Structures are given as C-alpha cells and as structure tokens.
Amino acid sequence: MTRKIKLQYTELAGCIFIDKIAGLNTHSPEHGKRGCVEVYEEELDRKLYPVHRLDKATSGALVFPTSSEIAAELTQAFEQHKVAKKYLFLTDKKKSQKDFSYESHISKEKNAFVSTKSQEANSKTSFRWLKTVGDNELWEAVPHSGKPHQIRLHAEANGIAILGDEEHGGSPFFRLCLHSLSLGFELKGEKVFFETTMPVWAQEDYGSGEDLVIAEAMQRRERLFKCSELRDESLRVSHRELDTYRIDQYGEYLWVYWYKESDPTVQDLLRFEKLAKRCHKKIFIRKMLNRGDDPNAEILWNIGNTHPRWTAKENGVSYDLRCDTGLSPGLFLDQRENRLWVANHAQDRRVLNLFSYTSGFSVVSALSGAAEVCTVDVSQNFIDWSKNNFQINGLDPEDDKYEFWVNDCLLFLKGTIRRKRKFGLIVCDPPSFGRSKSGVFSISKNFDELLINCLYCLEKNGLLLFCTNYEKWNSGDLHLRLAKLKKEFSFTILPAPSQGLDFELPDQEPLMKSIILRKS
C-alpha cells in the first residue's frame, strides 16, 4: 500500500523549502512533540538543518538545508542580513503614512520580547501599504534584521498592530495574520528564490467570519498536501478550526458533520453552496444526533447532483461510501495513518479486526498479503458492506483466507480463547458506548476485560493496535490503564503512528488515541 497523501516541499540548491502552516512550531517545543523540522525529516527520511525560524503562529516560507556545509553558508547569510525576506500582514488599524521604515532596540525582558527607542537600534523593518481587504488593511513588511517578534513589535509601535496578535496590541482574530511570503539569497554563486501562495486572508474573494475560517482551513491542507491534486482521495479539510462542524473530502464529495443543535440557516447553506462551486465538489451535510436518536435520519441537506452511493479512495484503496446508512459515510479518516501502519505489518500474519465497521483495516490487510483476515462486527449490515469493500478492491470475500463474523466482539474473543486460536495482528477500535443483544458495552467499564481477552488471543511477538475516541481519556490515561495489565501479561508498548496533519497538530491532544502493544 503506497502513501498517496504526502507532505509538499520544494527542493532547490541543496535546500528544502516549505510553506509552513500556522500553528506548527519550527522546532520541537518539548520532548515527544514534533516541530516542523521533525515532521519533514520523518516524511523525507533525511536530516534537515534549521537555520532560521518562524513563530508558531506565523505561516509561510521556511528553508532547511540538507547538509551541514550548506547550513553553515546559509546561517552566515542570515547573520549578515543577506537573505531577502518579504512578509504580508493584515491590520484593522488605519495609518496615513503608506511607505516608511522603523528602527528600534529589541530585547527579551521577563520572558517577553520588547521594543524600545531608548537604546541603540539593533533592528530595522520597512513597511509598505498594499491595499484594503474588506474592513482591513494589507501591508508588506521587509525585515532588514532578524530579531524575534520584530515585525510584530514594529507594527505595534507604528499603530498598525497585526490582526490576531493580542500579545502585541492586535485585535482578536481566529489566527495571527502574518505570513512569510518569500525568501531569496545567493548560495554557492547561484541565486535562489522561493515564493509561497498568497494567504486567503489577504484576498477579497474569501469574505469574513466562518467563510474565511473554512477557506483558511482548506488552504492549510493545500499547503501541506496539495489536496487540489488529490481529487479522488479522502482527507479532512476542516477539523477543529470551528466547533460547529467538521468537513471531510471523500473523492468528489465533501461530507459535513453538523454539530449545532439547530438546522443550517440559509446563510449556512449559501456558504456551503459557494464552497461546493469553488472546490468543484458535491456536498452532504449530516446532523450529528444525540445518542438515542434515530441514526438513520435523513441527510439534512445536499448540494449538487448527489447520489446515495459513491466510491472514493484513501491511499489508493477504494471504499464504498453511502449517505443513507448511519452518521458516517463509511470510512473514519482519523484512522488513515493506522490503516497504513496495518498495511505495512499485515503481510503473512493472521489478522483479527474487531468492531470492524466497514472493514477498512481488513481490506488493507488482505491487499497487503495477510495469511488470514478475520472480521468481526455485531451488525450484519456492516459485514455485508465490508464484503462489498473487498469486492471493489478485487478481493473475493468468499476466499477461505477471509472470515466474516456477525458477533459481539467480547463473546467472539472468549470463544476464540476456548478454541486456543491465536492471531499475529489484532486491530481493536471499539466504540465508546454501544448496545447489542448481548448487553451494553462501555469502554470505561469494559476496557480491562477487552484488552485481557485480546492479549490471550495474541501470539508471541504479535501486535495489538488499540484505538479509542473516548473523550474522557487522553493518551496518558491509556498508558496508566495498561500498566495494571503488566502484572498478568508481558508486553512492550510501541509508539502508534502520528496523526495526519489534516487532523491535530503535533502539540495538540488528539481526539483519537492509539497505542500498539507487542506481546513478549
């Protein structure tokens, strides 16, 4: 299984250039949390050398040399101010002067960067007004030095504090509207220039309010993955940018999970209609009901020439998607990196997929050459849907290597233990809460029982991937609960795959928690 959703970058003159997204640190902020350089080192499997940085909240052009020799030369160029840097920023302040420079002394005092005119200047920035964007003003800033927070401090000192920069006098906004537009320098006699895409907040076409937040969310994915070229693929295009809804791309469709208690207003629907036209997509809007409500209630709204069934891909694997069966179209995208991990570890193993839903894990295991794939879910409908996912990927669900069981997963595990059957890879992704003929399942109540039974069914050196979206637990809670099980079982805890950057950023606690155990 080949990764299709790859991070974007440009390689020039022995350097990797990226268009950094806002919210991502340049360096690791703390042990165990990846920064921008670590994320791209992992993606490229190469050593990168940070020679400058952007603030976490600033987006745009960032360069990483790929050798110590180039890093030394480029570090010197930055120190000697021979790197041409151009920034854009937005402010809601007005200023009559449209083209000027400003100098000050910048230092760090009490863990904060401050600017003062009372000491000899060590920083200089040139400012030029560009245009009015809605109710705001777009400016260009060219720093002639490289002090921390320089543009932000100098903008504040001149009465044009940056929108979203409350630390330095800016009005509240959903993000810091500061963007590194371009970098230019000479390296080994060669002129090098890298320019990024204009941010959506610098353009009139994207409006304001939720329209702009959604546009920014989608541009973030474009900067990361060039998702406009992934027309058939599936990824999240708006995650936690807004609390009221999430938006997924499933091939030619956008699927909106609507979390407001009220129905969409006319303004909401016009927003999604404009989004559909801009993205050349059809849209389903699905109200996320309270537990106990009818899960098969009608889709709230659809935009475009929609059909109740369609096919989309994830990392090249096809999935049967449906708008008329449950609250999801049939594929949870927060499991994408986990499915890729399973695909890379399933070959020649006997795989058990519990709480299988539509069996994405089973499909990638079969495609990767698993010796056996056993799929278990309490719903006959989901098992039938799973078999269809096998068929559309050229797999025969009637092959003796594949088993499909309509059964309560805990009962299945207990029967498997009695039969002394073992598996080399178990995927366990239970719901936080569920009902079946056998009773009520609760992850908080049944966790120990579920994990113990899984470990009894796991062969020596076998792998168990456990996942949960239970909101009352974080990753640390999982480790604490597993520590109790070590009295009875011997296993090693392995790191689970990092969540895709279309979901949480590295320093955010993910909604979906995963852990991998290797049985000793």
* In the predicted structure, residue 502 carries a pLDDT above the cut 70: yes
If you average pLDDT over residues 500-515, what whole number do you get? Answer: 90
Which of 112-116, 237-241, 476-480 has the weakest average pLDDT? Answer: 476-480
Residues 443 and 471: beta-carbon distance below 8 Å: no
CA distance 360 to 306: 24
Q: pLDDT for 42-97, tens place per residue?
A: 999 999 999 999 999 999 999 999 999 999 999 999 999 999 999 999 999 999 99
For residue 273, the tally of other CB atoms under 10 A from its CB is 14
Please state at what angle helix 360-367 crosses helix 336-345, rounded to 10 degrees.
Answer: 30
The CA-based dihedral angle spanning residues 374, 314, 431, 286, taken in that order and rounded to the nearest 10 degrees:
-140
User: CA-to-CA distance for 217 and 430, rounded, in angstroms?
Assistant: 29
Domain 10-196, CATH? 3.30.2350.10
Do domains 206-322 and 333-519 share one topology? The answer is: no
Q: What is the DSSP letter of 21?
A: P
What average pLDDT does the segment 349-360 reach? 98
For residue 251, the model assigns a pLDDT of 96
- At 436 the pLDDT is 67
User: Among all chains, which residue has been given the structure tokens 């889709």?
Assistant: 299
The pTM score is: 0.92
| pLDDT reading at 371 higher than 90 | yes
Of the listed ranges 37-51, 398-412, 485-499, the least confidently predicted one is 485-499
Higher pLDDT, 209 or 483: 209
Q: How far apart are CA 443 and CA 449, in angstroms?
A: 10
pLDDT at residue 293 in the model: 54
Of 365 and 485, the one with more pLDDT: 365
Measured CA to CA, the distance from residue 469 to residue 514 in angstroms comes to 9
Q: Can you give the pLDDT at residue 479?
A: 83
Tell me which CATH homologous superfamily contains domain 333-519: Vaccinia Virus protein VP39 (3.40.50.150)
Looking at the domain 206-322, which fold is it? Transcription Regulator spoIIAA (3.30.750)
Predicted pLDDT of residue 326: 82
Question: For the chain, which residues make up each domain, given as ranges?
Answer: 10-196, 206-322, 333-519
Q: Which of 475, 403, 486 is nearest to 451 (CA)?
A: 486
